[in-house]
Amino acid sequence: MVTKSMENSRIIELMAKKADKGASPEELEELTRLLAANPSYAYFHEIVHALKGNQDHLELMTPKEELVDHGWQDLSGKLNEGESGAGLLKRMHVGMRWVAAAVFLIVLLTGALLYYKKSSAQLQAENPSSVVSYAGFGVTRKLVLSDGTKVWLNAGSKLTYPNIFPGDRREVKLEGEAYFEVAKASKAPFSVHAGKITVGVLGTSFNVKAYNGDKDIETTLITGKVQVTMDNEPEKPILLSPHEKLTIVNEKESAREKKGAGVQVPEPQKAYNALRYQVQRLPQSTDNGFVETAWVNNKLVINDESFEAVAHMLERKYDVSIRFGDERLLQEHISGVFEKESIDEVLQILKMTTGFRYKVEGKTIYLSKQ
């Protein structure tokens, strides 16, 4: 009866013969059958051909890393199952020529494996497989990343991140708004690229708001510390302490064309030093929360915002389009707290303090001055 150990030894013997170009046609056919039944050895067989310059066997992308590790454990295990490397070679019952070839093969495989692992790590660091998660208009979404970091995506937001973070860094890209509770990892900083800023942390909770259509980019720190770097001034990082909010104003405000506004706000001339910012201390609300993160609990808190900014909030939360028929409404300032109200109920409440009329046609809301 042929044992698994004998079969593995036979594979090594035949691979050594083939590497030395001394295998008969029958032995090559036998090796093919054995490799088909033992895929972990099949991978090492391919590496030998790749290192020997065979253009048909360049297999850096094909095998899975766990298959490689398993195969190498099997191979190295044969040298540690109660017998020395010399004892294993003696059991092969081959001439000294094949013994030498087998030893050479094992050394070659060791170097090949180290090369492959290094190449795989480099490839993963340079181009890790990315995941894109969306929260459409009218919904929010919670995510848990591979390192344990929790992310809440607000409506109309997109987060791009690696399926598995490389060991020395954790980077994500945000379009829209998200609240992060970052898992601590002292040797792997966590960075959020959002709009024209990068927020870097080690382990903390914070909110980033960077919608393409908004004129402000906001970073609100709840716990821990963060460092915010503006792309056009990387040498001047901004450090935030708990309960501080950084607001970066982009003077190139975009018109409300994306949602089909009835009144378009003209774009000002491009300015080369367009970014300015302010840091402010946040007052806590009566329920020990913050206006900036109320959306995580499905609340819409409006604190003296322009009607134009409020329209963006309502569009994202309720999946509607708002069109202004009178540009004077754009600069009206509004406050309020909403949680379970429908869009019609919100508009009814807002019109009590702001003089406007509205008409609803499907998902489009038309506003006009009273």
> Which CATH number characterizes residue 153's domain?
2.60.120.1440
Residue 365 has pLDDT above 90, yes or no: yes
Alpha-carbon span 195 to 259, nearest angstrom: 20
Co-location of 179 and 327 in the same domain: no
Record the tokens describing residue 216, joined without a space.
């402000």
Q: Which of 98, 126, 154 is the last residue of a domain?
A: 126
Co-location of 109 and 233 in the same domain: no
Q: Report the predicted TM-score, pTM, of the whole model to 2 decimal places.
A: 0.60
- How confident is the model at residue 1, as a pLDDT? 56
How far from chain centre, in Å, is Cα 330? 36
Q: What is the pLDDT of residues 272-283, one digit of tens each?
A: 334 578 898 887
Q: Which of 126, 151, 174 is the last residue of a domain?
A: 126
Co-location of 28 and 102 in the same domain: yes
Q: How many domains does the chain have?
A: 3
Residue 47 has pLDDT above 90, yes or no: no
Are 357 and 368 in contact by the 8 Å Cβ rule? The answer is yes
Give the mean pLDDT of the chain. Answer: 74
Q: At 155, is the secondary structure helix, strand, or coil?
A: coil
Confidence of residue 212 (pLDDT cuts 50, 70, 90): confident
Co-location of 175 and 237 in the same domain: yes
Residue 240 has pLDDT above 80, yes or no: yes
Co-location of 99 and 225 in the same domain: no
Residue 286 has pLDDT above 60, yes or no: no
Co-location of 133 and 248 in the same domain: yes
Alpha-carbon span 294 to 290, nearest angstrom: 6
- How confident is the model at residue 176, as a pLDDT? 95
Q: What is the pLDDT of residues 98-111, one digit of tens each?
A: 444 554 555 455 44
Residue 258 has pLDDT above 70, yes or no: no
- How confident is the model at residue 261, as a pLDDT? 39
Q: What range defines the domain where residue 74 resides? A: 4-126
Closest CA to 182 of 157, 208, 156: 208
Co-location of 132 and 111 in the same domain: no
- How confident is the model at residue 74, as a pLDDT? 45
Co-location of 280 and 356 in the same domain: no
Co-location of 16 and 29 in the same domain: yes
Alpha-carbon span 169 to 191, nearest angstrom: 8
Residue 155 has pLDDT above 90, yes or no: yes
Partner residues linked to 361 by β-bridges: 364
Distances in Å between the alpha carbon of 355 and those of 220, 301, 309, 311, 370? 32, 20, 17, 15, 6
Confidence of residue 88 (pLDDT cuts 50, 70, 90): very low
- How confident is the model at residue 4, as a pLDDT? 63
How far from chain centre, in Å, is Cα 128? 9
- How confident is the model at residue 239, as a pLDDT? 92
Residue 83 has pLDDT above 80, yes or no: no
Co-location of 178 and 257 in the same domain: yes
> Averaged over 91-98, what is the pLDDT?
44
Judged by average pLDDT, the poorest of 36-40, 200-204, 356-360 is 36-40
Q: At 83, is the secondary structure helix, strand, or coil?
A: coil
Co-location of 315 and 224 in the same domain: no
| % residues pLDDT > 90 (the chain) | 37
Residue 312 has pLDDT above 90, yes or no: yes
- How confident is the model at residue 232, as a pLDDT? 82
Q: Tell me, what CATH number does 351's domain have?
A: 3.55.50.30
- How confident is the model at residue 65, as a pLDDT? 42
Co-location of 277 and 363 in the same domain: no
Q: Which of 126, 153, 184 is the last residue of a domain?
A: 126
Q: What is the pLDDT of residues 105-151, one digit of tens each?
A: 554 554 444 443 443 344 344 445 789 999 999 999 999 999 999 99
Alpha-carbon span 67 to 43, nearest angstrom: 8
